[in-house]
Amino acid sequence: MGKTSRATKAALSAREHEAMRLLSEGMGKAAVARHLASKHELCLRQARRYTNTAALELMCEPLQVNNLDAGIALDLDRLDLLVESALDKDDVKTAIQATKAHCTLSIQRLKALEASINTARRVMPF
């Protein structure tokens, strides 16, 4: 296996600024990540990190988090309806499964929000 080296702070900053420029020109996040990966010989995962950091700096990311949060809230609402319907039909097994799914989804939602907050703090320290 070849030796890999870490990028300098200047290189990291340059890549993030390049991602911000491309995003501000209207290029989509996936296209920006692919561009960075190709140009700088990065794995796509690392290129996505640069792109997501740039999107946060451009204030694009909160819109996506809100959309994600709204989708999760809708799913939680549907699970609540499923629990109520199952209990009305005396289907305890389904009610328990739906309640477990509700708990799992709530935990995932919390983790996603915490990750978003932590990312924002790294990018823009308070």
The DSSP symbol for 124 reads S
- In terms of C-beta density within 10 A (0-12 exposed, 13-18 middle, 19 or more buried), how is residue 88 classed? exposed
Per-residue pLDDT of 61-118, as tens digits, reads: 444 555 566 667 777 778 888 888 889 899 999 989 988 988 888 888 788 778 877 7
d(CA 37, CA 47): 5
**48 and 95 both lie in a single domain:** no
> Which of 57, 77, 94 corresponds to the end of one domain?
57
Domain that holds residue 112: 61-123
29, 8 contact by CB (below 8 A):
no
* Number of domains the chain contains: 2
**118 and 76 both lie in a single domain:** yes
Per-residue pLDDT of 14-55, as tens digits, reads: 999 999 888 888 788 888 899 999 999 999 999 988 988 888
**97 and 111 both lie in a single domain:** yes
- Let me know if residue 30 belongs to a domain: yes
